[in-house]
A and B are shown apart, each in its own frame.
Chain A
């Protein structure tokens, strides 16, 4: 069944199997600015896929970023030819390159070779792009060896990437590392994230919330958050993300789309609601005497403010603004 492709991409160990275009909320920047595809920046996700049959697809997130997935290093010579012939096209306008390495790959040389050729293309076409490398499937390595192997790989990659700078993460879908890696990638993609955090803090203090989270709309990655005191569970972001994504799956089976949720008991009240065009917000109040209506009004009012924030200091593309 269809679902937001970017989530699926992050979860699957093999990149690149067939993906249906995402359903769900159409993401455009704003109503009256026609999205200009030439303006859209690309996030390239590349790696080796287990399957030969690969389509690259477009997934939009953060409103104006398009995620392109490419399988490289595969055995399919047709794909390779297509890749080399379309190189310039693929590597233009790239904002971020995310390259995934398989930690148990037997063809290290070949992987590095492909990686370097991608880097060359980036250097030619989009020299400002940021590079992230994920060393994936780390769960297959013994626990005591993981750090060591990761350090080695990181060294190699840093060395190979010069003069470009790359950040490395070690990931596995079976623990929290993948989520954390994607969260930091997304964090870097948001241009005004500090300002966002400051505004979030103000917002939280005004409405007396314990914690406020901002999620990206399509992938439910935590873009930024504010907490007024220490929370016990360090894994709570990923848990909430998975719970909501699972709920969205169930909703879409009924051809409904998830909009908002309120969870309340004698100790707390939590509100998850659509916020701006690219984000969801989650507000946790530990004072149950505050009526829900009050918090919801606050959220609604804050919405306008944050929309403005997104527009004004928003991604560089939306310059055609009033």
Chain B
């Protein structure tokens, strides 16, 4: 008979790697009014005996009264909602049994946030750190070293400013109670259902883009893992055929001489070893392995609730830390190989300033993307006045991490034998499959991605089916069709276009256009206009941001 107010933890534990996930999913309604009358002022807890605390008669009568009134009117009718001065401000929450006893819950809070600044910063960092970290060195290579570094810093600042606008957007809405709103709700307030649908679309673009990238990467890592194990068991050393460095820390250039597609060593021929040939036939990076994953992951996607998987979120942090460690170790072994050629491309080096830098900005748009759930993440901050400071610190840490990994991988890439152009879109591909350290990294990432993939699928399903059909689980048939489409897209990309850098930059620029560049600026301009505080400098500045976002997307197709 006890009325326990259930707290869903999903929103705090879904750490979406590539694209921080939940849009508009308020598992934990922090609307205080909806939780009355379960709040009882501590003075109303009367000890009858020491074992069970009872509630005073006055509080119990108030509870019954409020219960009854709430049945008399519709939930939309505000006249019968207990006003603030009647229901005592909740200091603590008690589980209140109508029989009169009250139990204090230790861990419950009212949604006012129990996270210290440190935890909040860590959560933001963890949510932003995604698989786009694997493409940063490639992005730096595409932009040129100096340009790359500048672009990373500038994009960090730009997206930080837009994120700040997102966080502040709710406070500019004067008349409504926005305490439960996420950013898509704000968009809907300003732009009507167009805002709602476009934000849904952008969120889906980023989610499905993330899932495709995941599928490609998972096939890649699974392939390499299988190859490592096979070679390990059969003591095969296939190190001779691919362009590589000859020392203890080998780095390979898989795409040398094989055109655009980093193929899967199909040029390895062991004429007198049919066993290996058989293995090569059945364990092929782009022809077979993507399909093996279907049997593993498609069932997982159909689960109604993926909260089981959210327990594995710590793997994401472990993976990133391990990557940092790996990169540091490799750099120590390989040393720095940097030469600065400003505009000209040499045999081994790329110019410092290249025209393909929009590819890096596209990757970074997704790398710095957290705008659709930053409000929820900051809501749980204990000291709300530190929100902006914590956000800046988190962005700084993320920028530093990206810079660290990008610069170290780029700089340590052994350029005299290999060209910088060899840096792959997934920098782990530059290590041969028999390299132990990168094998461990691949295993970590593979396992972590397999646990995040169902979560992403769940988010996509909730948003798409929830908005289109109104029910997040209309029937197994609907869900199955959706999952087959998503998985099919992943498989097709893994077979024919496994360039994660490309996928990341296109989807990043597309969804970032709405959430990062256009909506925050436009909403700010509109709200200033309504308050009549719009000045020319501000207008021009924000219009420039919008133009930058558009240019970001357009140049993805040309550069």
Contacts and interface: CB of A to CB of B under 8 A. Distances in A.
B71 A249 contact: yes
Contacts of A11: 68-69, 72, 80
A242 B79 contact: no
A174 B82 contact: yes
Interface residues of B, number: 18
Contacts of B61: 176, 233, 235, 238-239
A79 B60 CA distance: 41
B206 to A, nearest CB: 44
Interface in A1-41: 3, 8, 11-14
B363 to A, nearest CB: 57
B64 A174 contact: no
A14 B67 contact: no
B530 interface: no
Contacts of A174: 62, 65, 82-83, 86
Contacts of A147: none
Interface string A160-179: 00000000000001111000
Given A235-B61, A239-B64, A246 B71 contact: yes
A12 B78 CA distance: 11
Given A243-B64, A245-B68, A246-B67, A12 B58 contact: no
Interface in A219-241: 232-236, 238-239
Question: Which label, helix, strand, loop or mixed, suits the secondary structure of the B interface?
Answer: helix
B85 A246 contact: no
B57 interface: yes
B344 to A, nearest CB: 79
Nearest to B87: A174
Interface in B37-59: 57-58
A140 B67 CA distance: 21
A80 interface: no
B60 A139 contact: no
Contacts of B82: 174
A113 to B, nearest CB: 27
A3 B71 CA distance: 11
Contacts, number: 53
Contact of A12 (B60, B64, B71, B79): B79
Given A139-B85, A174-B86, A235-B57, A242 B72 contact: no
A238 B57 contact: no
B92 to A, nearest CB: 22
Nearest to A14: B79
Nearest to A233: B57
Contact of B58 (A235, A245, A246): A235
B118 to A, nearest CB: 42
A3 B73 CA distance: 11
Contacts of A245: 68
Interface string A83-126: 00000000000000000000000000000000000000000000
A35 to B, nearest CB: 29
A217 to B, nearest CB: 18
Interface in B240-267: none
Contacts of B65: 173-174, 238, 242
Contacts of A246: 67-68, 71
A246 B73 CA distance: 12
Nearest to A249: B71
Contacts of A249: 71-72
Contacts of A140: 85
Interface string B126-162: 0000000000000000000000000000000000000
19 contacts: A8-B72, A11-B80, A12-B80, A139-B86, A173-B69, A174-B65, A174-B83, A175-B86, A232-B57, A235-B58, A238-B61, A239-B61, A242-B64, A242-B67, A242-B68, A245-B68, A246-B68, A246-B71, A249-B71
Given A12-B80, A174-B86, 8 more contacts: A12-B79, A233-B61, A236-B57, A238-B61, A239-B60, A239-B61, A242-B64, A246-B67
Interface of B: 57-58, 60-62, 64-65, 67-69, 71-72, 79-80, 82-83, 85-86
| The 6 nearest A-B residue pairs measured at CB | A235-B61, A242-B68, A174-B86, A233-B57, A242-B64, A239-B64
